[in-house]
Amino acid sequence: MKRQGLLRLVVVVLVLVLALSVASPGASASDGGKSRVWVQFVPGAKAQVEHALVGARADFHYAFDELDAFVVSVPEAALKGLAKNPNVVLIEEDAVRFPISIEKSQAPAPASSILPDQVIPYGIDMVQARDVWDANFDGVVDTGAPTGSNRKLCIIDSGMYTAHEDLQGLNVAGYNGNLAWDEDGFGHGSHVAGTIAAVNNAFGVIGVTPGTVQLYIVRVFGNDGAWTYSSTLIDAANRCASAGANIISMSLGGARSNATEKRGFDSLYSKGILSIAAAGNEGTSAYSYPASYASVVSVAAIDSAKNVADFSQYNDQVELAAPGVGVLSTLPYIDTSLITVDDISYAGGHIEFSARGTAVGELVDGGLCATAGAWAGKVVLCQRGEYDFYTKVMSVQNGGGVAAVIYNNVPGGFLGTLGEGYSSTIVAISLSQEDGQYLVANKVGSTGTIESTILQPASGYEYWDGTSMATPHVSAVAALVWGAKPTASNGDVRAALTATAQDLGTAGRDIYYGYGLVQAKSAITYLAGSGGTTKTVHIADLDGTRAVSKSKWTATVTAKVVDEIGGLVSGATVTGTWSGGFTGTGTCTTTTAGTCSMTTGSMKLTMASVTFTVTSISGTDLTYNATANTDPDGDSNGTVITILK
């Protein structure tokens, strides 16, 4: 067993070195010849491994005692030496984690700081939020209705702009990670917070919980939205737990899994915390982490017609779906892009990476703006199509134009970009087809004023797309449901959410919608009617070890028990039979880690092997499904394991 473990460690280190050598410069765990890695040590060997790391000139970032792990930056040349240390169990890359990329929706953003009348974002009713706390839809929270006020929800993101007009009066605290938690120059965290808890008042928007859930904010992203690490995420999640959070909401992820990060989220789940994360916006079947760990709920995005978004990642880990297209919520800035002609303003969007500012000039029709024209001092109207936005804007700039207005070639508006690494010295905005065609037909020769500005900090609102926007819907629904029955476990709440989700797509659970659209009221009704939710459980791993002395030997089997959605199960009694070198019955009860162990009596050295067969798993509200037994290590079939002397 030790030989096999060492081989696995060496392979992991070789893969790590290769991964670091091909990682992109913008997202690498390698810095100045040092690799940022997790180093897991043998329980009880912390001091020895710490000494070895100091000797290897490691920079220490974190020590996670519960995970028996350090996170360090260590010279790459020292990796192989550390791998040979008998006290080191595993070395793996500290994978990067990003805020799940968002797109501003094609729907126009409100132009003013205060929405004069409160807008109910479509997702609020789609997830049955008002059915829970405003049954007659009169705008007043019903007396005694569940509002999640007795639950604490932790948001790990880019902070929250607490001065926003629609986030006043919240029960909120937080932790300053890289920057102050109560500020947000990026906007991602504030948009998430508004969907969860925007206040029920006369203006702005409203959250799934009407400004009532307790919030705890842990900031891990800066004002530029740059990536962070899996270790930073685990540290943040642990801070959520220490603050008493029941639910952790993460609109973030990364493409690479991390075994120690997974153990961290497994541990949080076993402690009763429900972690929820975005499935990802790549529009592929790729897994995103932490969403794709079994102990985390993975959330897909759907639109107002309940169709899965084309950007939403799809795979067998997707568990629930929620509104994630054209989601209106709070932002810490006001982004204004418009053209005013004859005192009438036409709202559009900023062409990303073009200049900001104000420009005034006579309107001219530039057609497709494929090449520069004689446009000195003009505001040039360009039709979208055939050529990229950078070509069009450069044509206007090189022709002396003061601003480019690109209007759509299909109905509606759009959002455009010059492309990362490109820029312009003139202002460029996008416009809907309808407005653009009207200006071309009726206003050429008139004076147009172009404004593309951003005011920050300020109380703004925008429509955004992304699984990042879907995730807070599910997190807030979980708070409503759990708040209605605070004695329920995280597993009970999770089961209620999946059991009552509105089935979409292919009947039953599928890779696009998971179990379906999350439904708050239905889940509350389900949970209220179940004294305890029955779980179907199975063996997820069987491991065998042996201890050999001069005259005898013993074998130990460790079983891991999970429920049907991969959650660790404590209090499960595993029973089985020994055969071969030892005969008898073995039994044990799982801990909060979902595992327990059984050991044989002493066997003579002439006995070459012993076999253990799982016969049952029992416990309160547990049903055993033996056909689901599995073993990812391949050293058993999940039911039977043989240990060689």
Pairing mode of beta strands 378-383, 584-589: unpaired
Cα–Cα dist 174/258, whole Å: 26
Give alpha helix (H) positions in 114-185: 122-126, 129-133
Residues near 167 by beta carbon (within 8 Å), at least 6 away in sequence = 160, 161, 190, 193, 194, 197, 198, 199, 211, 330
Amino acid making up residue 285: S
Q: Which of 345, 423, 602, 616 is catalytic?
A: 345
Cα–Cα dist 465/481, whole Å: 25
Residues near 264 by beta carbon (within 8 Å), at least 6 away in sequence = 64, 67, 234, 237, 238
Contact 405, 339 (CB under 8 A): yes
Handedness of CA 467, 468, 474, 478 (dihedral sign): positive
Residues near 512 by beta carbon (within 8 Å), at least 6 away in sequence = 300, 308, 312, 314, 318, 321, 504, 505, 506
Tokens of 96: 């990067």
Give the position of tokens 């995005």: 301
The DSSP code for 503 is P
Candidates 622, 612, 636; CA nearest to 540 is 636
Cα–Cα dist 251/468, whole Å: 4
For residue 218, the cross-strand partners are 156, 175
Cα–Cα dist 561/593, whole Å: 9
Residue 566, Cβ neighbours under 10 Å: how many?
A: 16
For residue 451, the cross-strand partners are 338, 358
Cα–Cα dist 293/318, whole Å: 10
The DSSP code for 568 is B
What is the total residue count of the chain? 645
Give the position of tokens 């004294």: 531
Which H/E stretch holds residue 472? helix 467-484
What crossing angle do the helices spanning 188-197 and 467-484 adopt, rounded to 10°? 30
Amino acid making up residue 396: V
508 phi, psi to nearest 5 deg: 85, -175
Residue 474, Cβ neighbours under 10 Å: how many?
A: 31
Query: Strands, E, within 201-326: which ranges?
Result: 214-219, 228-229, 247-250, 252-253, 274-278, 296-302, 318-323
Q: Which of 30, 73, 166, 188 is catalytic?
A: 188
- Longest CA–CA span in the chain (Å) reads 102
Cα–Cα dist 230/257, whole Å: 9
Q: Is 345 annotated in the active site?
A: yes
Q: Is 188 annotated in the active site?
A: yes
Tokens of 84: 């040979």
Q: Which of 68, 94, 157, 631 is catalytic?
A: 157
Q: How far is CA 638 from CA 262, 571, 641, in A?
A: 21, 19, 7
Instruction: Tell me, letter by letter, the H, E, C secondary structure of 222-241.
Output: CCCCCCEEHHHHHHHHHHHH
Give the position of tokens 């460790």: 558
Positions annotated as catalytic residues are 157, 188, 345
